[in-house]
Structures are given as C-alpha cells and as structure tokens.
Amino acid sequence: MLDSISKADQVAVIQPVAAGDAARVPMEYRAQLPGRCQRQYINKPKDAPPGWRAPIQEWIDQWVERVDRTSPFTTAGLHITEAQIDWRLISNSGVDEGVIRPVIGAGGWPLIPGSGIKGLFRRACPSAQLERWCGSPCAPGELSPGILRFHGAWPVDAGWMGGLLDVAHPQQNWQLGFNNGHESHSAFGVVSLHRPKLQIALSCTDPAISEAEWQDIVATLRTALQQGIGGRTCVGYGSSGTISCTDPAISEAEWQDIVATLRTALQQGIGGRTCVGYGSSGTISGDLLFQCELAGQGPAAKLLDGTAEFRPTMFRAAIRGMALRLFGGLCDDVTARQVVGRLFGSLSREEGQNVGLLATAYTDANTELGSYGRGSWQQPTYATTGRLQWRLMRRFRNNESETLLTDLLAALHGLTMSLGGFGKGWRRPDHSIFYSSYGKTPIGCHWQWSAPEQLPTWVHVQSSADLTQLLQHARDLSRRWLEATGVRSGGPARWREVLHPQTMRIWARRASDPDNAEAILWFHRDLKGTALGGKVNQVGRLWNRLLPLLDGQGSGSAPANAHQASPMARPAANPFTRPSAMARPTAMARPGASRQLPPVPQGAVSIAVHPGPFLESLVLFPEQRESAAFIKQMEEGNGAEAGFRPVTF
C-alpha cells in the first residue's frame, strides 16, 4: 500500500501525532491505556473536568455520527424473517480485549454474521433435515453443502442508534461477602442494541424446493428464535416476542419449514451472553423446566448517562445468588461456586468457565417506568408483571435429573420470594407501601406471585411453618443434587451470607396490613448506620421482607395509591431501648444545590398491591459485635413483644 504513496506522504504517515493533536485521534484508534482510552472502564475520575464523558460514550458518539442513515443491506432474492427484540441484543466482535461491542459491517451498521445464524439454526434443526439444509459436518467421509445460505441478521432501520450504552455490574462477591467485608465491585461499559427489529436473511440453492419444506424451515427458525438471539440470552438479552416472515418467490410450504427451524434455533438465543437473557426471542417452548408469574415494583436501574431502564438480568442474578447461599450452606467456598457455575454458567476461573445448564427469559412482560421521591432525591422506579421462564441450555449428563433440577429451581424461587425479592433494594420492603410517610427517595422493592395456584404447594409460603418446610426441603434438594452430580458436601462456606442453621437466624410474624409493618421502622432509628443495618458502601446483615399471604387468590385486586412526596414522619416507636442521646436523627441532609440530576421518568407507577395480610420476616447473619444484643431483643424484648417468633430449620 505504501508503494502508491509519495515519499513526502509516507513520511507524514509515520510521523507521531503531535501532543496538541492527541485529543483529535478518534477513540477507535487510541491505545487502550490510562489517559488515552479505556472503553470498558466507566468510573468518573476524581479530577474529571466539567462535562467529562466516559471513553465508551465518546466512542459511541463518534461511531453513530458517521453511520449511514439508510440501510446498506439488500433483501432482493432473500427470504427475510423479522424478529422484534424485547429488550437488548448483544454480540461481541472480539476486536477489543475487555470490551464487548457488536460486529460492525458496511455503512457502520451492526450485524450478526451468517455463521452465527447458521449455528443457531443448526441447533434446532431436525436430524432428518440437518444434512439437506445445513450440509454435512467436517468429518471423515464425503462432504456436501446444504441447500440453505445464511446471510446474517441486521436492524431493519436506523432506530438501533439510540440507547447503545449498556452496563455490566458484577456484584455477587460483594453481596454475599466472599472476603469478609473486603470485597469491591465495579461497573463496566458494554455496547448493545436496545430493542432493535432484526431482518434475518436466508436463501436457497435448490430452485425446486417445495412450499411444504419452506414451512418446515420457517417453523425451525421460529423455534430457534424463541431461545434468544445473540449473547447472554440466559438472562434475557436477545429475547423476541414478535417474529414475522416474507417470501420472495420460493415455495411457501418449504420456506415455512425453514423458518420454523430457525425459530426453534432462536429460542436458544442469538448473539452473546444468551445465558443471562441477551438475545432471547419470545416465550420459551420446548425444553422448559420451570416458570412462574410475577408482579413487582422497586427502584429502576440507571445507565451511565442517567437513563432509567428495567433490566430483566436481575432475575437470574437473584436466583443465582440464592443458589450460592443455598449450596454455600452445604459446601466449601470453591465447591459451592463450581456447582453454581455449572448450573448457571460462569466466566470466572474459580467457577470453571462454562455456558451452564440453565437459561432464563422474562416474557409476556408489561413494564412501566416512573419516579418517586422529593426534589433532588427523586429516582426512577418501575412496576412490572410478567412470566419468568427457565430452560435447558444443553442435555442432561450422567445422573443429572430433570425432575430434581425442576424442584431445585422451584425451591430457589420460593426462597427468593419468601425472604427477599429481585433487583435493587431487595433486602428491604418497599417504603412507598409499608412506610408511606417516608417520601424522600425510593427504598426497597415489593414482589408477589401473580398465579400462586400454578406453583407447587410447598413453594407458596403462607405461614412460618411453610417457611420452615421450604427451607428444609430446599436444603434436601440441594444435597440430593450434589449426590447426583458426584459432589461431596461438607462444612458451610466462609461467606457472610449462607443458608445454614448455624449461620443465620430467622424470625417471622403476621402483619395484618401495610401499616402494621414493624421492622421497617427500626432501620431508620437504632439500626441506622450500624453493621447490622448496613451503610452506603457496606452491605448489612439483615433482610426484612413482607410476603403477601395471597391464599391462592393471585396478586390482589386493590391498586396501590400513588404516593405523593411528603415529609418523613418520625417512627412511631423505638423497638430497642436505648438512651435518647444515642438515638439517630430521623432525617438526613439534602444534597448540595450544585448536584446535577439525571433525567428520570415522571409520575408514580405501581402494581396492584395485595392489601394484606403479610408474613413479615427478619433474617440475620450474625457477627460478633452487635448481633448478641439484637438476638436477645428479638427473643425476649421488643421484637418478641411485636409478635416475632423464631423460624427454625
């Protein structure tokens, strides 16, 4: 190439960039070094100048401003299947180490290569048609190409250019206390497409293909798409509820067969991170293990630019975290992480890098974003109803049992629902429901079953006795899974939070209605700022939950009132006796006036909250300094007077 450039121009080409011109180099071509460009890191430096933007934000801006506004892809002569992605689609080009970004094709448009679509389709392809449609494998014997050509997938229009910035925030070590309080956690930038509509292009080399065969192909394609397209589909990325097809001229019946095969393949997920929900496509069918219908509300996540977003990845994170706590009560640290890694997938070496056995999708969802709080304390919130589904990512091996795994999944959902919840604030009840006079900022979340009659009876907890039975049954199921997979159980892991009779204490009481909640007030007085209650950068040792006692009637019919911002009321009672000089203030100072607020949706949103009664539970993971006094008060003092009784298992 240099031969075609003049000597003078060649010298200019190899000249280093002048110091004053360094900032003009696009982010795409900068060295991935501190001070130049580190796209995966999004933490704002302490000495950041006004208007600072993370390198990944600048990279996205520079990419999008140069993209052709019209699609560079042609559909002439191709059979097109369209799929609407429910949430986000992720795929990784592998160009940059440590940065997940899509493959970028002609005109700057993202695409999923045809090889990825073929692999997706092949997984769902009937064995009888595999060689005809996809060709013979690379193995000894005669090789032959299939009749189908896979041209890839790309967005229908330029609407994909918005909302490209995504965030990954691993927290399990911090949430469970892997290192006795010395854990750290960081968020990382990711580039993914937000709710794109995709065109998936196929063609056929056989001009005589019949209409019936095309129908089979279409059916297979649909099945494939239902599993999700792209990466992280096991946590909800790449899911697609709407899939449509067009037929240029080839026999409709055979095209239907091809599209059916592709849909079957897409159920497995398309793109990257399919195991965590990216790239999933519609309601799961086929290898469905467990599903439940949920309704919930709480604080919404925010992207780096302050945009509010409901993230279905929180469901897998919550169930996976509960699995770690459950197996951590039976195994040592390393073994528990490896067992959970084999179930849910893992990228870490400690957990044995693998895809995992399970994937999840949040389908048939109806989600609204709103806001809650006063003034500069206002934050985005969500209210959602939907169906949470789990499926197999691979076939069972050795003594792995489908029945046992299904029951284990049900137990994990029962524990998560009974003792906590999903998403931000799951350790606390939703203050907008159970402490309505606290109108400063959203704290806590609230979840309830939408169809409890569809659950195993032992999962739908209705009393302290039911909770005891669930805990015992969950430990028995996890122990049986260890035996079936040839793993020895032993002493509990040395984490802050594990489900074991010697490392956790549980108390429960019956609350008649939202105003009858007791423990929620304690966190604003004597427990505030303590090791038990937790701090901004320290996870506490207490969980507080108010589980709706639905009695098989569903999620309730009384809609929650829209709570207006109001002055924070003083708690009605101090649950533990303390000198008044030790009492903590009931209000906190407001942030400085110079604080810049991110944009948040306006208006309260809520599910139809069950009016009562509730099973109020308090879970403690004891430590040496403050736990003894707290336990004594719960057993003999004001906790017992409030009606709390121990739950043993």
For residues 198 and 254, membership in a common domain is answered with yes
Residue 467 lies in a domain: yes
Residue 47 lies in a domain: no
pLDDT at 592: 31
Candidate from 334-338, 519-523, 536-540 with smallest mean pLDDT: 536-540
pLDDT at 12: 45
Residue 75 lies in a domain: no
Give me the domain span that covers residue 263.
80-279
pLDDT at 5: 40
Residue 74 lies in a domain: no
Helix 313-328 crosses helix 333-344 at what angle (to 10 degrees)? Answer: 140
Residue 72 lies in a domain: no
pLDDT at 243: 56
Diameter of the chain measured on Cα atoms:
90
Residue 48 lies in a domain: no
pLDDT at 619: 98
Span 56-77, average pLDDT? 90
Give the sign of the dihedral formed by CA 545, CA 549, CA 554, CA 559. negative
- Strand, coil or helix: what is 153? strand
Candidate from 165-174, 276-285, 323-332 with smallest mean pLDDT: 276-285
- The phi and psi torsions of 383 (rounded to 5 degrees) equal -140, 130
- The CA-atom distances, in angstroms, between 295 and each of 291, 416, 445, 452, 630 are 14, 14, 11, 11, 33
Confidence of residue 174 (pLDDT cuts 50, 70, 90): low
Q: For residue 531, what are the contacts with CB-CB under 8 A and spacing of at least 6? A: 538, 540, 541, 623, 625, 626
Domain boundary among 260, 279, 298: 279
pLDDT at 266: 65
Helix (H) or strand (E) holding 392: strand 379-392
Between residues 257 and 53, the one the model is more confident about = 53
Question: Is the pLDDT reported for residue 591 higher than 50?
Answer: no
Residues facing residue 234 across a β-bridge: 274
Span 531-536, average pLDDT? 86
Between residues 44 and 252, the one the model is more confident about = 44
pLDDT at 285: 52
Confidence of residue 501 (pLDDT cuts 50, 70, 90): very high
Mean residue pLDDT across the chain? 81
- The CA-atom distances, in angstroms, between 57 and each of 60, 87, 97, 411, 482 are 5, 20, 17, 41, 45
For residues 60 and 93, membership in a common domain is answered with no
What span, in angstroms and rounded, lies between the C-alpha atoms of 134 and 146?
4
For residues 265 and 186, membership in a common domain is answered with yes
What span, in angstroms and rounded, lies between the C-alpha atoms of 424 and 444?
7
pLDDT at 382: 97
For residues 471 and 499, membership in a common domain is answered with yes
pLDDT at 178: 67
Candidate from 25-29, 340-344, 510-514 with smallest mean pLDDT: 25-29
Confidence of residue 90 (pLDDT cuts 50, 70, 90): confident
pLDDT at 361: 87
Between residues 574 and 135, the one the model is more confident about = 135
For residues 125 and 26, membership in a common domain is answered with no
Q: Which residue has the tokens 């009659």?
A: 453
pLDDT at 270: 63
Nearest to 153 by CA among 63, 270, 277: 270
The per-residue DSSP string of 483-508 comes to HHTT----SPPSSS----TTT-EEEE
Model pLDDT for residues 237-289, shown as the tens digit of each residue: 777 765 555 544 456 666 667 766 766 666 666 665 565 556 665 555 556 89
Question: Is the pLDDT reported for residue 574 higher than 60?
Answer: no
Candidate from 207-216, 226-235, 253-262 with smallest mean pLDDT: 253-262
Question: Is the pLDDT reported for residue 425 higher than 50?
Answer: yes
For residues 275 and 294, membership in a common domain is answered with no
pLDDT at 271: 63
pLDDT at 587: 32
For residues 262 and 299, membership in a common domain is answered with no
Confidence of residue 531 (pLDDT cuts 50, 70, 90): confident
Candidate from 337-346, 474-483, 529-538 with smallest mean pLDDT: 529-538
For residues 269 and 316, membership in a common domain is answered with no
Question: Is the pLDDT reported for residue 445 higher than 90?
Answer: yes
Give the sign of the dihedral formed by CA 45, CA 47, CA 52, CA 58. negative
For residues 641 and 531, membership in a common domain is answered with yes
Domain boundary among 64, 95, 115: 64
Residue 311 lies in a domain: yes
pLDDT at 228: 78
Span 144-173, average pLDDT? 87
Residues in the chain: 649
Confidence of residue 502 (pLDDT cuts 50, 70, 90): very high
Question: Is the pLDDT reported for residue 638 higher than 60?
Answer: yes
How far apart are the two ends of the chain, measured CA to CA in Å?
74
Span 180-206, average pLDDT? 83
For residues 195 and 305, membership in a common domain is answered with no
For residues 489 and 624, membership in a common domain is answered with yes
Span 53-62, average pLDDT? 87
For the chain, what is the domain count? Answer: 3
What span, in angstroms and rounded, lies between the C-alpha atoms of 481 and 476?
9
Between residues 97 and 139, the one the model is more confident about = 97
Question: Is the pLDDT reported for residue 511 higher than 70?
Answer: yes
Is the backbone peptide bond immediately before 613 cis, with ω within 30 degrees of 0?
yes
Between residues 174 and 365, the one the model is more confident about = 365
Do 210 and 258 contact (CB within 8 A), yes or no?
no
Residue 516 lies in a domain: yes
Residues facing residue 510 across a β-bridge: 615
pLDDT at 569: 35
For residues 462 and 556, membership in a common domain is answered with yes
Domain boundary among 230, 245, 279: 279
Nearest to 460 by CA among 325, 553, 387, 572: 553
pLDDT at 263: 65
Span 159-172, average pLDDT? 82
Between residues 535 and 472, the one the model is more confident about = 472
